[in-house]
């Protein structure tokens, strides 16, 4: 899940608001970044956020009957989702690195009673107050799928319990219910109608670790992973959507797009997703600084346990193994003579610079399988902080874990002002520079029409579902917390 604590000076204020569009009427959710209202946080806080996120990212999930197991942590993004009949709105963390949707339920203890996120009040979901809520039996197909097989201790009329835990110790314990969720379905160009679907999700009775803290607390979590138990997979299997989604984070004007469904405009060049990977892993093949290709051993790029490149929109910064980070840092920082570099918060190389950074520093290009390239411009990787510029990337070894020190984690730092497509049906990932204040075309599978879906801004749009993709600095796009959460 995406926890992001690396501060992004004034760029944090650019909270990005996204739209999720479901095929056949995609669902539109407004997203908000949990640090969106804070102009200044310490760089140290952002790093800690990423670190916690990544600890969870590394943990496996174990779900025995009775609530023991593994959970997902808090996310960097959150959405306002309606659940139940009559419907009530809940604020949920949005996480591309986990699979299960769960909400804090009545009788939950311990659970966070308040949050430090401005203008939000936490609430508990009570299935007894919803006429459409049903308990999920431990003998049912969803429970069997979630537990990777039948539960030997399952008794007649027994409910399906879950226990989730992350690598940082945070956890959620409860039981599964099925109820109706609402979404805004794409019905025409920049138009939506109300839609809904019955979804199975967790009813949390106990949260532990960071999940029980008021820091960044929300009503629950919604995972956008590829598992068959995720909300995305459930919507796809019911014919509501294609198993595809895309996001575009606007680092220039704030706001952005988050769409679930078949994105057909623009056409994107793609690279294969690594088969059977736990996350959205891709095969990186090169790093170029300006016109110079870095001499990196091929084994540094190889995918495998604790290796390879991960696209993770729940992390704020970008993390590179030393074999890439060291020569990249050296070439960028020595591209300008007489820079007086000093360390800030024992994390970032910072310096004074009065000229145009885009005219003075080189563009970095990451190359992937199938000749797909991702351009990262100086205004993306040099972060403004206290009247200085700071080098926004981090050495993966700073995560202080042998399990992640060789990973390449590409987060919001390199994804801002890019359209990113996750096509799970064809197992490819698309990337391109894009104007995230414009629109994308979504195909309606029923009529064949292509409808335009635009960017949204939480402060100005009356849309029901709010997702606020806040950019924690143009540079610090994917944070350590996501790393903890998703590995």
Residue numbers annotated as active site: 95, 312
Three-class secondary structure of residue 205 per DSSP: strand
Contacts of 30 (CB under 8 A, 6+ apart): 17, 18, 19, 79, 80, 456, 458, 461, 463, 464, 465, 466, 467, 468
What is the residue-wise DSSP string for 83-111?
ETTTTEEEEEEEETT----EEEBTT-SS-
Placement of tokens 């995230």 in the chain? 436
Placement of tokens 């779900």 in the chain? 63
CB 474 within 8 A of CB 416: yes
CB 484 within 8 A of CB 21: no
Burial state string for 137-160 with b = 16 or more CB within 10 A and e = fewer than 16: bbebebbeebbeeebeebeeebbb
Structure tokens at 199: 């979804």
Candidates 401, 397, 360; CA nearest to 381 is 360
Candidates 80, 420, 98, 467; CA nearest to 247 is 420
CB 464 within 8 A of CB 184: yes
């Amino acid at each position: 899940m995406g926890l992001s604590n690396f501060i992004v000076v004034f760029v944090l204020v650019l909270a990005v608001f996204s739209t999720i569009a479901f095929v056949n009427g995609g669902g539109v959710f407004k997203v908000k970044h949990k640090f969106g209202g804070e102009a200044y946080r310490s760089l140290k806080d952002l790093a800690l956020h990423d670190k916690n996120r990544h600890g969870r990212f590394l943990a496996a999930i174990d779900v025995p009957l009775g609530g023991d197991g593994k959970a997902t942590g808090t996310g960097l993004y959150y959405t306002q989702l309606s659940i139940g009949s009559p419907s009530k709105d809940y604020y949920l963390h949005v996480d591309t690195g986990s699979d299960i949707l769960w909400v804090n339920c009545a009788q939950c203890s311990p659970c966070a009673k308040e949050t430090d996120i401005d203008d939000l009040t936490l609430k508990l979901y009570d299935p007894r107050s919803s006429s459409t809520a049903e308990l999920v039996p431990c003998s049912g197909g969803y429970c069997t799928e979630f537990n990777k097989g039948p539960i030997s201790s399952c008794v007649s009329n027994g409910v399906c319990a879950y226990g989730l835990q992350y690598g940082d110790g945070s956890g959620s314990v409860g039981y599964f219910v099925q109820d109706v969720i609402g979404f805004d379905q794409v019905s025409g160009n920049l138009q939506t109608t109300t839609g809904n679907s019955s979804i199975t999700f967790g009813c949390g009775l106990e949260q532990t670790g960071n999940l029980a803290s008021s820091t960044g607390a929300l009503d629950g979590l919604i995972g956008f992973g590829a598992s068959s138990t995720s909300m995305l997979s459930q919507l796809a299997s019911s014919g509501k959507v294609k198993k595809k989604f895309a996001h575009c984070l606007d680092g220039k004007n704030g706001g952005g797009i988050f769409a679930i469904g078949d994105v057909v405009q623009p056409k994107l060049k793609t690279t294969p997703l690594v088969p059977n990977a736990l996350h959205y892993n891709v095969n990186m093949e090169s790093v170029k600084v300006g016109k110079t290709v870095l001499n990196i051993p091929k084994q540094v790029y190889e995918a495998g346990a604790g290796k390879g490149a991960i696209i993770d929109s729940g992390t704020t910064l970008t993390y590179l193994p030393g074999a890439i980070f060291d020569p990249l840092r050296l070439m960028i920082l020595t591209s300008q003579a007489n820079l007086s570099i000093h360390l800030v918060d024992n994390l970032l190389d910072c310096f004074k610079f009065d000229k145009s950074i885009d005219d003075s520093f080189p563009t970095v290009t990451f190359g992937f399988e199938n000749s797909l390239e991702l351009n990262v411009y100086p205004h993306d990787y040099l972060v403004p902080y206290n009247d200085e510029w700071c080098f926004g990337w981090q050495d993966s070894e700073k995560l202080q874990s042998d399990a992640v020190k060789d990973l390449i984690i590409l987060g919001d730092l390199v994804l801002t002002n890019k359209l990113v497509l996750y096509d799970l049906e064809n197992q490819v990932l698309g990337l391109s520079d894009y104007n995230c204040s414009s629109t994308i075309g979504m195909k309606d599978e029923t009529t064949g029409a292509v409808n335009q879906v635009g960017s949204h801004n939480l402060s100005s749009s009356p849309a029901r579902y709010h997702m606020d993709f806040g950019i924690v600095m143009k540079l610090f796009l994917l944070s350590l917390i996501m790393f903890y959460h998703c590995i």
